[in-house]
């Protein structure tokens, strides 16, 4: 998505450890009209899918999922990290290793909100090694719902998680794929 690539080049910054910061428009401060455009693009790419629910994970996926859900006219459910006193009853759970935070945490979702009747689109802001997405996919599989696909705003292609998911047969749409961040310069994968 050209608009996104231009915005990353304009406002993204590269930090040590292959961390790309896009916190001025995507995941700390949120440029709402811009994210609405990303939402429309997700709708365009998954136009043919009978999505009944959008699944994301706290925290930075929530705003993107909420704005995108307006175009699909479906509810959002967001998985939570770690056990919460305020979640009761039956839960789907999966273990996830965070690239950014360098720790393992549990991802949980109330069973009430995902059933075998659902057709799920997973959305998130970033895809690096794919651990968060794999955790969400595991939750969808546990529920018996149909996984229609996954959409991420920025895929760090050089970390391999996205291509691994594609090899697994997951329909994955990344609005921008970065294939290299060497020497502080970004190289995007050609759009397919």
* Binding-site ranges for a copy of itself (CB under 8 A): 15, 19, 21, 23-24, 28-33, 35-36, 58-60, 62-63, 65-67, 69-70, 73-78, 80, 84-88, 100-102, 109-110, 112-113
Tell me how far, at minimum, the Cβ of 147 lies from a copy of itself, in Å: 18
Coil/strand/helix, residue 173 = strand
Tell me how far, at minimum, the Cβ of 114 lies from a copy of itself, in Å: 9
Tell me how far, at minimum, the Cβ of 59 lies from a copy of itself, in Å: 4
Distance separating alpha carbons of residues 156 and 7, to the nearest angstrom: 16
- Of 23 and 97, the one with the shorter C-beta distance to a copy of itself is 23
- Of 76 and 147, the one with the shorter C-beta distance to a copy of itself is 76
- Of 85 and 183, the one with the shorter C-beta distance to a copy of itself is 85
Query: What are the Cα distances from residue 80, in Å, to 15, 135, 172?
Result: 27, 11, 22
Chain-centre distance for alpha carbon 28 = 15
Beta-bridge partners for 122: 55, 150
Distance separating alpha carbons of residues 48 and 44, to the nearest angstrom: 9
């Amino acid at each position: 998505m050209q608009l996104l690539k231009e915005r990353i080049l304009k406002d993204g910054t590269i930090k040590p450890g292959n961390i790309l910061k896009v916190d001025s428009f995507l995941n700390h401060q949120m440029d709402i009209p811009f994210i609405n455009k990303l939402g429309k693009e997700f709708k365009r790419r998954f136009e043919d899918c009978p999505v009944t629910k959008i699944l994301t994970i706290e925290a930075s996926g929530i705003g993107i999922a909420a704005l995108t859900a307006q175009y699909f006219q479906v509810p959002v459910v967001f998985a939570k990290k770690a056990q919460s006193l305020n979640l009761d009853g039956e839960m789907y759970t999966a273990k996830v290793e965070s690239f950014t935070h360098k720790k393992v945490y549990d991802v949980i979702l109330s069973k009430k909100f995902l059933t075998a009747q659902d057709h799920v689109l997973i959305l998130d802001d970033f895809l690096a090694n794919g651990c968060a997405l794999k955790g969400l996919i595991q939750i969808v599989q546990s529920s018996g719902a149909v996984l229609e696909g996954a959409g991420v705003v920025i895929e760090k292609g050089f970390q391999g998680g996205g291509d691994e998911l594609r090899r697994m047969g997951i329909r994955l749409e990344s609005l921008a794929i970065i294939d290299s961040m060497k020497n502080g310069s970004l190289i995007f994968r050609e759009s397919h």
